[in-house]
Structure 1
């Protein structure tokens, strides 16, 4: 790895697709939306957030299928999912390049 690909905090560039829940080291491996510079700990936290996001999405679908008349409200489910999504974007913002930060700011999530 080239020295310019790492900064003083052990960070290196990653390419993130929130939609796919992917964090890529190679920008040509798949489509991505955002670029971040992160260390191993930050990437681990982001992986955990993506797992939580996927689990929340899957739980809502399973809950609705199993108990269509007794499921939590759409508003409650959406609120919990939105809160988790905001945590994902906060983590991405904290590690983001200037371009990524501007993009997230334009989304007006908080």
Structure 2
């Protein structure tokens, strides 16, 4: 399937086909199947986010011992890995400069890094 531009707000967990529909942080080139995978991750993040919200009203849980936080973080990393893989050069630069991923020499997302 052919890739086309999409505009993504990780904060709002939205993906738009039209640039002017709403605010966005990142521009990517992806297939509709890619976008379905991304939307699924956003749904998982929402589920984990809801779980952390509910816990915040109960007993105090240390962040590092909280499976909901771990799940949210894991999905967030996966989202940024996808954004880097599918991102425009500007999107990739943004992710690199913000330090949102560990881009190591053997990391598949670091292929385009200059030494």
Question: Could you tell me the TM-score, scaled by structure 2's length?
Answer: 0.77
Could you list the runs of 4 or more consecutive aligned residues of structure 1 that deviate by over 4 angstroms after TM superposition?
A: none
SS in 2 for 1:10: coil
Match of 1:51 among 43, 46, 58: 43
- 1: CA distance between counterparts of 2:96 and 2:50? 28
Matched, 1:89 2:80: yes
Deviation at 1:41, TM superposition (A): 1.1
- 2: CA distance between counterparts of 1:76 and 1:42? 32
Mark the runs of 5 or more structure 2 residues left unpaired by the alignment: 103-115
Residues 1-110 of structure 1 aligned to structure 2 (within 5 Å): 9-65=1-57, 68-69=58-59, 72-77=61-66, 78-108=69-99, 109-110=101-102
SS in 1 for 2:2: coil
- 1: CA distance between counterparts of 2:62 and 2:71? 11
Aligned residues: 99
Contact 2:6/2:16 (8 A) holds in 1: yes
Root-mean-square deviation (CA, aligned residues, Å) is: 1.6
